[in-house]
Amino acid sequence: MTHDIDTAPTTGIGEMLISSRSLDEYRSMFNLTDVDLSRTILDCPGGAAGFTSAVNRLGGDVTACDMAYFDRETEQLAVVAVAETDRGNRYIRAHAEHYDWTFFADPDEHARVRRQAVEEFAADIRRHPRRYVAGRLPSLPFPDAAFDLVLSSHLLFSYSDRLDHTFHLDAIRELMRVARGELRVFPLVVSGSSVRYPRVDELLTDLRNHDIAGEVVEVDYRFQRGAHHMLVCRHITSHAPEAAGSA
Ligand SMILES: C[S@@+](CC[C@H](N)C(=O)[O-])C[C@H]1O[C@@H](n2cnc3c(N)ncnc32)[C@H](O)[C@@H]1O
């Protein structure tokens, strides 16, 4: 199936950012508990987030997957990721009124947290390159049900100004193919705006037709205005066997 993936930016940040959110941001965006973090996790797209490094350092088992890992040598990727973090922070400073300054006190704290996360990412991808797997949605290089929990932040919905509805449906089905348990997707709003993806209800119906139940759940994270919900997807298992007839 072909997808309308138009790389030309129409709104917001411009070219898609390779961003570097921290473990604390992931915990808050996805309502992650310590039990969640003890599961096998796929982070797709992993970008230059510090999440994989931080959780594995705590004894977890996280794999990151992103198409950005295809084209660049590790050293070059680390350099690009730092430059991308600075680009993201410049955008946020220039549009500070679009953000809720409670998770981060101000743009300086945002810069400090993201810089620390990207440095963790850069060090980790050099030390453990096999944790960072090149892949391009809607097709992932993993077997069925390879992970307990799959996380996906700031690609789906965020970039719906250039990724069409079919891409969203196919990407979620693929992320669910590799998920034994849940998929959590954050946020539901378009990058650079506080507008929710307008076809969420239609997507939930489409997913249900593929035996995937989706539920919109509020989270604690507050940063981009209007972005405080995630989509949680679970497999719809076959119906429980009918109760035996009464004696
Ligand atoms: C804004 S970053 C989000 C990274 C990370 N989840 C975070 O929150 O910091 C978006 C990422 O999506 C990746 N990406 C874009 N299209 C993709 C695709 N079709 N398959 C896999 N990754 C993709 C980009 O390379 C980029 O690193």
Structural domains of the chain ordered from first start? 23-235 (3.40.50.150)
- pLDDT score for 117: 97
**Cα–ligand 1 centroid distance for 208 (angstroms):** 25
- pLDDT score for 182: 98
- pLDDT score for 147: 98
| CA–CA distance, 198 with 20 (Å, rounded to integer) | 27
Spell out the per-residue pLDDT of the chain, length 247, in tens.
444 333 334 456 788 999 999 999 999 999 999 999 999 999 999 999 999 999 999 999 999 999 999 977 888 998 999 999 999 999 999 999 989 999 999 999 999 999 999 999 999 999 999 999 999 999 999 999 999 999 999 999 999 999 999 999 999 999 999 999 999 999 999 988 889 999 999 999 999 999 999 999 999 999 999 999 999 999 998 754 444 333 3
- Residue nearest ligand 1's atom 16 by CA: 67
| CA–CA distance, 129 with 243 (Å, rounded to integer) | 51
- pLDDT score for 5: 38
| CA–CA distance, 138 with 119 (Å, rounded to integer) | 28
Pocket test for ligand 1, best of 2, 3, 5, 16 (most atoms within 8 A of CB): 16
Q: Which residues pair with 214 in a beta bridge?
A: 233
Q: Which residues line ligand 1 (CB under 6 A)?
A: 16-21, 45, 47, 49, 66-68, 135-137, 153-155
Atom of ligand 1 nearest to the CA of 152: 6
- pLDDT score for 191: 86
